[in-house]
Structure 1
Amino acid sequence: MKKYIALSVLLACIFSACNESDFLRENPEDFMSTSNAFQTEVDFEMAINGLYNLTRYEFYGYNESKPFDYIYGTDLIFDGEPGTYSRHGNMLAGYDPTSNIPRIHWNNLYKLIAESNTVIDRAEASSFSNERKSSFISRARFFRGFAYRTLAYLYGGVPLELHEVQIPKTDYVRSTRVETLEQAKEDVKFAAENLPDIVDVKDGEISSPVAYHLLSEIYLALDMNEEAKDAATKVIDNPALGLMKNRFGSRSTEIPGDVYWDLFRRNNQNRGIGNTEGIWVIQFETDLPGGGSSTTDLKVTGNYMLERNCVPHTGLAKLTINGKVYMPFTNWPCGDYTGGRGIGWGVSTKYFSNTIWEDDFTGDMRNAEHNFVRKFKVSNPDVIALGITEIDVENPPAGLEVGPGSTTIPGRYLYAYQTKCTTPYNHPDELYENKETWKLKSIAGTTFTDQYMFRLAETYLLRAEAYLKLGRKDLAVKDINEVRTRAHAIMAQEEQVDMDYILDERMRELGIEEKRRLTLMRTGLLYDRVMKCNPYYANPETNGDGVGMQKHYNLWPIPQSAIEANIGAKLEQNPGY
């Protein structure tokens, strides 16, 4: 007991012998904190880089299948390994408030908001010039608005926090969806008016056209259609931007190929190589610290595994001929049009691979064989000796197994896929087991190229949507046909244009490049499009087992962990959960 009394006296002497406010003021010198991390312009630039990194992680990083939550469970693809809730194969489990799907994205997006708020508050309190303050604040407000826009589409109205939180808060309440979008609009509008033009930023950096593109989309979500049209027009009329109409880039002389194919080849996405169509391009560098992609670790944080998820697992396909079972693709994984090291989780719907092309199946370059693969070159010499050199999913041979016990295309082992998933004949050299045969190592599966977040073709389709909502179908079809002309597609007619047609055209032009869930949730059409276009989720026989689509899935649930942590107020759950 004496030692405790002595300790108490000692502490009392210490506190009485010094200025209390000075004693309690933290002055960290041997570790980084927000109080000493924002001293110089370099500090702020590093913080801005962190916002880019958080964005890449949420939408393109390796986090199991989380970046692909934006396309799984939509009208584009279905889960090739049924029953796995993490890939939306069981929606009842996947969309439970306690599941990873709603929780991870909620946490990632609020992390982006929190880091943006810190930059904004610290920049406003700094002694930098007004010009430098504006530079930091406009970029941070863009990312904050980008995050709130995404939250509004996924969850509806969410709590709004506009300042750095320095002590725990547990009394958040939800704003409405409109209020959340209004905040996103104000942030992105500020960014659009203050960010530099695209010619004045480095590849991958946000610019005024990036913000105006996003602003057009947010205006559409708010039914501010005239403003949406005007914002898109600012991007389209920018003299530094234009649709790519001629072949270009690293493989422009290769045949087969076309300008659409060129858009997605390795290192072809940035302005630095002459691409005027990319508005915001997410940057990847291979085997560099912070670069994202790795040839030595498949599960490194930055790997964007579009190839792994959305290319069929051809190595498991089976072909029975005269009672004998063959594996047609023995040279697997193979870095040719067989698809690299795909594992067939994200299977193209028939609507995506066939229905939307029916009016112009062979004329539209976006559906050409080198852009949307349907014919797979056989590599098993025993099968070739029997006269079968390729397997065409449009005309498959008898005895073909395309999924576990299934002979119906599409299946996990064989289906039509977009080559923008992968880099045929152009994987990093470190990934080849035998480059003469294009045989890849088992660690392949990443898509090794930069990725479009926003592309000018989409801006035209946003403006077309605005014109449609303004009752100007004549101008809507004109914008749609700007995109279709580049693709050598049959011209759309005014009487064809409705929201379904625009969604179909987005599917034709963007496909798996698009964060499709955001578009369908923004328009409130996720349920309708899935029921129309994706029989895997629409089948009433499976709905009772929790696999199928339900109307309340137009929004995700608020994570149960967020509700339980918010002990000072009630965080309302979305209806149906």
Structure 2
Amino acid sequence: MKNLLLILALACVTLSSCSDFLDEEALDFKSADNSFVTSSDFDKSVNNLYWLVRSEFYSGNEQQTFDYIFGTDLVYDGQIQGAQRFNDFDNTCNPSNTYLNSHWTNLYKIVAETNTIISRLPASSMSEDKKQKFEAKAKFFRGFAYRTLAYLYGGVPIELEEIFVPKKNYVRSSKKEVLSQVIEDLKFAAENLSPITEVADGEISQPAAYHLLSEVYLANQQYEEAYDAATLVIDNPDLDLMKNRFGSLKSEPGDVYYDLFRAGNQNRNSGNTEAIWVIQYETNVIGGDNGTSNVYGSGYKAERVFCPLVRDLRVDGEGVSPFLWPNSTFSSGGRGVGFGIPTIYFSNTIWENSDWNDMRNSNYNIVRKFICDNPESKFYGQVLDTENPPEGIEVPSRSWFAYQSKCTTPGQHPEELFDNFETLALSSNAGFTYADQYLFRLAETYLLRAEAALGMNRKDLAKADINVVRSRANAKLCSENDIDIDYILDERMRELGLEEKRRLTLGRLGLVYYRTVEVAHNPLVRNMAEKHNLWPIPYEEIERNTEAVLEQNPGY
């Protein structure tokens, strides 16, 4: 035994250290030490960043995907239960409640992945040009994550290095410091990413970076810089608003705004020049998310959440609904369950205050007229209108309300979901939205630039940009007297609706409470206060940060 100890001791002396002797070298499998060498290695890591973004905003838990929409001026909870859907802010936003914690975790996962990419680039075998391109991609996603954290939480800890051991001494940077870091990252990304014509569908590009940079400049009240960044997107010759019918249903009744959201129409390969960054979905493909075998699986469930549960509607004492459900029709909306009921402000007021005949308010885009298609109902063949409901019918209610057709795909569900294609009857596994999803599109860039112009006290420029968007919708043009931040936020509702991550927009402006309670009078939001303009820092993060103080947001 003594001889063995001596041998080990001598071995440790002859090696640089005993720990070096014990270190394992991966020779025939991938490890953290040998996985960041070639461009293929870095592509895999970047692909994971796309997946993390899709998981956070479109494919995660059915409830938490829509935390960016519920509890704002857009919608309210159609089925109260637990902490989900922001019907009680004291419950949902309790720092000790783990309900919101996944967002903090997911966004910092993006940060960690990007820091790993950046730290491993110098030692890779790639050319300098390729290293720069991957650095640009990583910094775009890092900026994207920190921008989102800043809008949700205010100032947060900034970490720009790859972490190898747990740290317990984080402190919060100010929101201003976070936004400054985001701007630095996005400027590098915008200058070094590829043009939009040189990337695959779903990939980030220079216009995506400049669009996001414009938004963050707005958050930092750098209005001229925001205006200039948006201008670089708007003036890009490869981008333009879609003004004519196009795509998969262009020969069917509808309009160009309706076409923007039909299956297969979101990417540039469909002729769409308005899309800037599109989240990709495929059906029944590994990694594609939107499968047809289980509605409770991973996929974007806007159809399920934001279309009404017409199955439960009863009119004039009848024992059946006048509408068949689930059906791939406007009258059913697919397989909606009515969790997200639109506020009256969203469904009616913003149109009454502007132009009810706006294309974006047509029945193709906000379904108000429903054709009774149940042969067993005495109303069969008649049209029921949410604006003139039958006596005794509450509108809106979970079983019947005006809904945005962009949340579903009438007549275009995957063939595997049809129980009867002739009647368009769907199986119980429907409920996803079977189309790619816009994260950024050019109409929003115009509205960002209009907001920047307003900040510059140039209402003439703001009016010009807003009216570009309104002209496409054949809507009455606005005047300079119309324009303030509320008008722009209303116009974002008209143009983007449930497509927008509304909590981020209102959080960027510090107006979540004001717009939800004082403007929209959201009817089912309880215990909301000014403090809820920001989410609380998760208590578990504060608790585990034992070597420094991670301060909580005021009021919590």
Alignment TM class, shorter chain as reference: over 0.9
Q: Give CA-to-partner distance per residue, 1:115-168, whole Å, 9 cap, x none.
A: 010001101332422101101110000000000000000000000000110111
Matched, 1:369 2:369: no
Give the counterpart letter for 1:91 in structure 2: F
RMSD over aligned Cα atoms: 1.6
Partner of 1:454: helix, strand, or coil? strand
The SS at the match of 2:303 is helix
The equivalent of 1:327 in structure 2 is 321
Task: Provide the residue aligned with 2:334 in structure 1.
Answer: 340
Task: Report Cα offsets for 1:74-131 as digits up to 9, x if no partner.
Answer: 0000001124421112211100112234311000000000001000110133242210
Residue aligned with 1:268, SS: coil
- The question of 1:270 aligning with 2:270 is answered no
Q: Provide the residue aligned with 1:312 in structure 2.
A: 308
Q: Distance in 2 between matches of 1:233 and 1:388?
A: 50
Provide the residue aligned with 2:543 in structure 1.
564
Give runs of aligned pairs for residues 405-444 of structure 1, distance below 5 A. Answer: 408-444=394-430
Contact kept in structure 2, 1:78 and 1:534, CA below 8 Å: no
CA contact (8 A) 1:81 1:89 kept: no
Aligned ranges 1:113-512 → 2 under 5 Å: 113-255=111-253, 257-301=254-298, 303-321=299-317, 324-329=318-323, 331-337=324-330, 338-359=332-353, 361-383=355-377, 385=378, 389-400=382-393, 408-512=394-498
Q: Shift of the alpha carbon at 1:32? A: 3.3
Contact preservation (8 Å) 1:134, 1:194: yes
Contact 1:209–1:279 (8 Å) recurs in 2: yes
TM-superposed CA distance for 1:26, in Å, is 2.9
Structure 1 residues 326 and 291: CA distance shift in structure 2, 3 A? closer
- Deviation of 1:309 after TM superposition, in Å, equals 0.7
Contact 2:168 2:545 in 1 (8 A): yes
> Judging changes above 3 Å, is the alpha-carbon distance between structure 1 residues 117 and 398 closer, same or farther for their aligned structure 2 residues?
same
Residue 514 of structure 2 corresponds to residue 524 of structure 1: no
**Distance in 2 (alpha carbons) for counterparts of 1:372 and 1:440:** 22
Gap runs ≥5 in structure 1: 1-5, 401-407, 540-546
- Post-superposition offset of 1:410: 1.0
Give the aligned residue type for 1:282: I
Is the 1:145–1:184 contact (alpha carbons within 8 Å) kept by the matching residues of 2?
A: yes
Shift of 1:370: 0.8
Code of the residue aligned with 2:216 in structure 1: it is I
Aligned partners of 2:73, 2:388: CA distance in 1, in Å? 24
Answer yes or no: is the 8 Å Cα contact 2:371–2:381 preserved in 1.
no
Show the counterpart of 1:514: 500
CA distance in 2, matches of 1:343, 1:15: 70
Seen in structure 2, the aligned counterparts of structure 1 residues 388 and 560 have a Cα distance that, compared at 3 Å, is same
**Native 8 Å contact 1:86 1:100 kept in 2:** no
Following TM superposition, by how much is the alpha carbon of 1:30 offset from its aligned partner in structure 2, in angstroms?
Answer: 5.3
After superposition, give the CA deviation of every residue in 1:318-357 in whole Å (9 maximum; x if it has no partner). Answer: 2234xx543222x211110021111101111110010000
Amino acid at match of 1:313: L
Unmatched 5+ stretches in structure 2: none
Q: Which of 515, 530, 538 in structure 2 is aligned with 1:551?
A: 530
- Tell me, what secondary structure is at the counterpart of 1:179? helix
Q: How far does residue 360 in structure 1 lie from its aligned partner after superposition?
A: 5.0
* Partner-residue secondary structure (3-state), 1:376: strand
Q: Is the Cα–Cα contact under 8 Å of residues 150 and 518 in structure 1 kept in the other structure?
A: yes
TM-score scaled by length of structure 1: 0.93
User: Pick from 91, 94, 112: which aligns with 1:93?
Assistant: 91
| Partner Cα distance (1:83, 1:175) in 2 | 35
Structure 2 CA distance for partners of 1:306 and 1:10, relative to 1, 3 Å: farther
1:517-575 deviations in Å (ceiling 9; x for gaps): 00000011111100134434577xxxxxxx23211000000001111111111100001
Between the aligned residues of both structures, percent identity stands at: 54
Stretch of structure 1 that moved more, 110-119 or 19-28: 19-28
Is the CA contact 2:372–2:379 (under 8 Å) kept in the aligned structure 1? no
Q: Structure 1 202/169 Cα, relative in aligned 2: closer, same or farther at 3 Å?
A: same
- TM-score, normalisation: structure 2: 0.96
Stretch deviating more after TM superposition (262-271 or 119-128): 119-128
Of 50, 55, 66, the residue aligned with 1:68 is 66
Residues 102 and 558, structure 1, Cα contact 8 Å, conserved in 2: no
Which residue type is aligned with residue 462 of structure 2? A
* Pairwise CA distance, 1:291: 1.3
Contact 1:311/1:421 (CA < 8 Å) preserved in 2? yes
**CA 1:327–1:169: 2 relative to 1, 3 Å:** same
Q: Which amino acid aligns with 1:424?
A: P
1:198-247 per-position Cα deviation (integer Å, ceiling 9, x unaligned): 11111111001000000000000001000000000000000000000001
